[in-house]
Amino acid sequence: MPDPIAAIDRFPRVRLAHTPTPIESLANLSKRIGGARLAVKRDDCTGLAFGGNKVRQLEFYLGEARARGADTILITGAVQSNFVRLAAAAARKCAMNCHVQLEERVSETGPAYRHSGNVLLDRLLGATLHSYPDGEDEAGADRRLGEIAGELAAAGRRPYVIPLSPGHPPLGALGYIDAARELIGQYGDLGHGFDRIVVASGSGNTHAGLLFGLRALGDATPVTGVCVRRDATRQSGRIGARCREIAELLGVENFVGDADVVLSDEHLAPGYGTLNPAVRNALRLAGETEGLLLDPVYTGRAMAAALTLARQHNGDESILMIHTGGTPALFAYGDDLIGHV
Q: How far apart are CA 221 and CA 260, in angstroms?
A: 9
Q: Which CATH number is 54-162 given?
A: 3.40.50.1100
Domain(s) of CATH 3.40.50.1100: residues in the chain: 6-52+170-337, 54-162
3-class secondary structure per residue, 186-237? HHHHHCCCCCEEEEEECCCHHHHHHHHHHHHCCCCCCEEEEECCCCHHHHHH
Q: Which residues are catalytic?
A: 81
Given this model, what pLDDT does residue 112 score? 93
Mean pLDDT of the chain: 95
Q: How far apart are CA 237 and CA 224, in angstroms?
A: 14
What does the pLDDT look like over 255-275, one tens digit per residue? 999 999 999 999 999 999 999
Task: Give the DSSP letter string of 96-165.
Answer: -EEEEEEE---SS--HHHHHSHHHHHHHHTTPEEEEES-TT-HHHHHHHHHHHHHHHHHTT--EEEE--S
Amino acid of residue 308: T
Given this model, what pLDDT does residue 135 score? 83
Given this model, what pLDDT does residue 266 score? 97
| Overall fold of domain 6-52+170-337 | Rossmann fold (3.40.50)
Given this model, what pLDDT does residue 340 score? 63
Q: How far apart are CA 7 and CA 171, in angstroms?
A: 12
Given this model, what pLDDT does residue 313 score? 78
pTM: 0.96
What does the pLDDT look like over 51-70, one tens digit per residue? 999 999 999 999 999 999 99
Given this model, what pLDDT does residue 339 score? 66
What pairing do the DSSP bridges indicate for beta strands 23-25 and 37-42? antiparallel
Residue ranges for the chain with pLDDT beneath 50: none
Q: How far apart are CA 96 and CA 153, in angstroms?
A: 14
